[in-house]
Amino acid sequence: MLRFLLRRLALALVTLVLMSVLVFALTAVIPTDVARNVLGNLASPAEVATLRHHLGLDQPVYLQYWAWVKKLAHGDLGTSLASQEPVGNLLFPAMKNSLKLAAMAFVIVVPLSILGGTLAALRRGRLLDRFITVTGLSLTAMPEFVTSIVLIVTFGIWKHWLPISATTPDDYSFRTLLTYLLLPSLALVAVLFGYIARITRAGVIEALEADYTRTARLKGVRGRTVLVRHVLRNALLPTIAVVATQTGYLIGGLVVIEVMFNYDGIGKHIKEAAYNNDITLLQGGVLIVGVVYLTATLIADLLYSLLNPRIRQGGAS
Amino acid sequence: MTDAPALDIRDLDVAYSVRGKDRQVLRGVTLQVARGEAYGLVGESGCGKSTAAMAVMRYLPANGRVRGGSIEVAGANVMELGRRDLRRWRASDVGMVYQNPGTALNPSIRVGRQVAEVFTVQGVGSGEARERALEALKLVQIADPASVLQRYPHQLSGGMQQRVIIAMALAKDPALLILDEPTTGLDATVEAEVLDLVAGLQSSLHTSVLFISHNLGVISKMCARVGVLYAGRLVEEGPVEEVLHDPRHPYTVGLLRCVPRGGVRKDHGRLDTIPGFLPNLGDDLPGCVFADRCALAQDRCHTEPPTAHAIGEQHVSLCHFHETAQTLPRLEAADLELTPVDRSAPPLLAFDELGKVFRQHGNDIHALVGVSASVWPGETLGLVGESGSGKTTLARTLLGILEPTSGAMLLEGKKLGGRMTRRSREEVRALQIVFQNPDSALNRRHTVRRILRRSLRKLARLSGKAADARMTELMTSVRLSERYVSARPSQLSGGLKQRLAIARSFAGEPRLVVCDEPTSALDVSVQAAILNLLVELQAKEGVSYIFISHDLGVVRYVSDRIAVLYLGRLMELGPAEVVFDGPHHPYTEALLSAVPTIDGGGRDRIRLEGDIPSAAKPPTGCVFHTRCPRRLGDVCDTTEPPLVEIADGHLMRCHIPLDQLRTLQASPR
């Protein structure tokens, strides 16, 4: 188990390094002159050159990368080119907001879709199964901005049940927070439900048909116990892997929804950074999303191995 | 009620609904299992054996339905049990043992909890359930039961997994124990152990057993009475001895003839087969169910269902002509001209001191250790040994799929590259393989034509008209009808798929074909046809085979010489009849005695203690000494005996002098 853990951690570290290279390279090859961009068209070439030197842009790319990494190691993500504020100051509060939204969506979507997928599997081929499968699929197929607009129009503008913006007033209680975050979370849930439910359904069907489930039934084990103890434990393994990758989406894929609901999250910042050619902010944002994604995958791997003795024990004996 | 039979099935009629239509699977099956009796239900795949078992357990698939008849277990009507009663009944009155112990245990729950569950469903507290789980495992004589409880199923060997399942089934002291192919897929030595265990427990606990198997030898060993099931109808029933030695239904007669036994060999003649195919599920069969495939059938067989004819006191046959059933004409009468192998000629393939070491978790696994042998043109070399003995590694090394760590291979005197990529096209086409499972060996998305033409292009460099002509020739020679040319593997039966796989391997006119368990996934009647085909191709093309099988009767039938492997070492090598008739190496002796035969009796079984040792830490001295029933003494533990020629062409690796072995093995035990 320890060996498995260490190997996974080492792998995550390598991924992290590769990711930082990619992120840096991506922004380094964007065909814009950062200094020119910051100073505008009226600046003289000399001024531009000075700024380039100041930013270290006249140095070879690998040295730029090295300088960037060194600062990263000290927790310094650089200074935003557009607002001249430290990137960390901008992104960390935004990250907190995004995590709140993601957590809310996560808490709704995971139990809901596992329940939906399990019910569909138990009623395979019947009306309930078709309903769940078709609903899930249609919701997944619909782009986020369409679901968002439908939600805003129905619950915000027409019925006035929920606020249409996700940005809470300054002094908010936990309850207010939930009301403000409910609509955008639902938009996220709509995207993810179909996918997770589908994987769950497939996993449960496979486990229901497995020989060990037959063994349990013919032992005279009660139906509910068979489902919980024998079926779900094996069936949910693939679901966990999927949920983990989707958590990455929950953080990184929020751009559209955060913009739709005018929410001050990391997705919105990334979008604005891209608009303004704010390279440092963009690098920081993408890197943070990447780290969250990696962490989620790592946690899922550990969870998966905890539930699956074959991995934990390191293969067949 | 106590004298009611353990199982009483009357006129059981089960149908599966397929695309809205009912297809009959069981046609009025009636059978009784008396208290304490072991009843065998035998038949080929698709005859309804497992359906009968599942109907008894009330666990038919969702589209299955009992349309008529009754099932009583120990006097209780199973069909009328309500939901809750059914659960209680399953928890206390019936036990079941399944074909695949590996998948029948939950992979993510410790063995202890799974066994204890048998007791908790009966309302026993969890502490007591744990204690009784330990007792249950002790009953099935599993090594170190306390530690087994703590383990997960994948950490147990197949034999141990099956012991756990048997422990769970017997723990509730059931009124009826159903065993559905409990040893299919286990090694012969493990199978023998499991069968011994079940037989021992059955007689000490007086358990009533319904034993389902396709293997007549196993049934003969385990059961007192047997029922032969064909197309959902019990066509013959009676005491095992009588049915197997005096069969009175043409199907039973044919089935018994398909099995290579009593030391028959390919040069004694061809195996008999049963022509045609099992009727389709739910076909309307107004007369005798076997009429379409029966050489004795007359008009009335097709129209009038035969009634039960009593032959002995308990022996019953459902055949109009039960008196003449044994005159069933032989189908494959024509004997083959097999050219005798000329061993003075240079060998086709020779390998010398082959070694293969795998590295696994930092350990060196010696899968092959100094294996040397030769195969002459037109000869079959049989490879036998338990799983883990190195049979498949040897075959794969010869084919160039694995690279040997040491040693050399010579094809017609020319050194052969270790890897396939270092072999010339001629060398690659000279050595081909037929796999055990044609399902996974054939690309299921390709048609028969595409599969064969691809091999013809790759191996024989044929394309266009020439390839078409050769493809037709190949299909004819393996008796694969030309109408299948556009079919995909999934549309072919198991036997036809294996014919296709054989045709594929013969595309490049190979000199030697490795047959890795080519018939173990097939029914006996299909197996006979495939063995006939292989022998036929050998007679015609002069091809050599390396034949791997755990079925010693089959190996004996096809092989000219036999090589016995244990832990990657050659223990014995010699002409087939010499190896089989003895004196044999103690390991060979144990292997032979492990096989349950139809003819039964005679020799007592030699028990091999425990599992095959790990190849990472092979025993010192003779690697077999830890399990050898004839261990001499310290010399076996310290010195590895050399492989010496004890008689003409008969090599053995054993410290015991030949004469002594002969006396030991001749004396009755």
Query: Are B639 and B654 within 8 A, CB to CB?
Result: no
- The Cα B598–Cα B216 span in angstroms is 6
User: Given pLDDT bands bounded at 50, 70 and 90, which one contains residue B1?
Assistant: very low
DSSP A229: I
Q: What is the pLDDT of residue B567?
A: 92
Question: What percent of chain B stands above pLDDT 90?
Answer: 55
Q: Is A317 close to B154, i.e. CB distance below 8 A? A: yes
Q: What is the pLDDT of residue A301?
A: 81
Of residues B57, B89, B108, nearest to A234 (C-beta): B108
Q: Is A220 close to B165, i.e. CB distance below 8 A? A: no
User: Given pLDDT bands bounded at 50, 70 and 90, which one contains residue A253?
Assistant: low
How near does any CA of chain A get to the CA of B167, in Å?
Answer: 12
Contacts B106 to A, Cβ<8 Å: 212, 215-216, 230, 233-234
Apex B434 CA angle, B428 and B438, nearest 5: 130
Q: What is the pLDDT of residue B324?
A: 87
More confident of the two residues B621 and B339: B621
Per-residue pLDDT for A105 more than 70?
A: yes
Give the ipTM.
0.81
Q: For the sheet containing B7-18, what is the strand order? A: B21-33, B7-18, B64-73, B76-77
Question: What percent of chain A stands above pLDDT 70?
Answer: 94
Q: Is A233 close to B108, i.e. CB distance below 8 A? A: yes
Q: Is B90 close to A219, i.e. CB distance below 8 A? A: yes
Residue B364 three-state SS: strand
Contacts A220 to B, Cβ<8 Å: 87-92, 121-122
A307 part of contact set with chain B, CB < 8 Å: yes
- Write down the domain spans for chain A: 90-265
A7 part of contact set with chain B, CB < 8 Å: no
User: Given pLDDT bands bounded at 50, 70 and 90, which one contains residue B664?
Assistant: confident
Q: Over the stretch A54-88, which tens digit does the pLDDT of each residue have?
A: 777 777 778 888 888 888 888 888 888 778 888 88
Which ranges constitute the DSSP H helices of A155-222? Answer: 174-209, 211-218
Per-residue pLDDT for B546 more than 90?
A: yes
Q: Over the stretch A167-209, which tens digit does the pLDDT of each residue have?
A: 777 777 788 888 888 888 898 899 889 999 999 999 999 999 9
Per-residue pLDDT for B601 more than 60?
A: no
Name the phi and psi angles at B5, rounded to 5. -60, 155
Residue B152 three-state SS: coil
Q: Over the stretch B94-150, which tens digit does the pLDDT of each residue have?
A: 999 998 898 999 998 999 999 999 999 999 999 999 999 999 999 998 888 999 999
Q: Over the stretch B163-202, which tens digit does the pLDDT of each residue have?
A: 999 999 999 899 999 999 998 878 888 888 899 999 999 9
Pick from B241-250, B278-287, B574-583, B615-624: least confident: B278-287
The average confidence (pLDDT) of chain B is 89
Contacts A211 to B, Cβ<8 Å: 98, 100, 103-104
DSSP B571: E
Per-residue pLDDT for B155 more than 50?
A: yes
Per-residue pLDDT for B249 more than 90?
A: yes
- The Cα A75–Cα A70 span in angstroms is 9
DSSP B4: S
How deeply is A213 buried, as exposed, middle or buried, from its count of CB atoms within 10 A (0-12, 13-18, 19+)?
A: buried
How near does any CA of chain B get to the CA of A316, in Å?
Answer: 6
Residue B471 three-state SS: helix
HSE-CB of B23 using CA atoms within 13 angstroms: 16
Q: What is the pLDDT of residue A317?
A: 32
Per-residue pLDDT for B602 more than 50?
A: no
Q: Over the stretch B22-80, which tens digit does the pLDDT of each residue have?
A: 889 999 999 999 999 999 999 888 888 999 999 999 999 888 999 999 999 999 999 99
Per-residue pLDDT for A283 more than 60?
A: yes
Q: What is the pLDDT of residue A3?
A: 77
Contacts B105 to A, Cβ<8 Å: 212, 215
The CATH number of domain A90-265 is 3.40.50.720: no
How near does any CA of chain B get to the CA of A9, in Å?
Answer: 20
Strands B561-566 and B380-384, by their bridges, are parallel
Per-residue pLDDT for B280 more than 50?
A: yes
Q: Is B104 close to A215, i.e. CB distance below 8 A? A: yes
The average confidence (pLDDT) of chain A is 84
**Its pTM surpasses 0.80:** yes
Query: Are B539 and B336 within 8 A, CB to CB?
Result: yes
Q: Is B155 close to A218, i.e. CB distance below 8 A? A: no
More confident of the two residues A292 and B360: A292
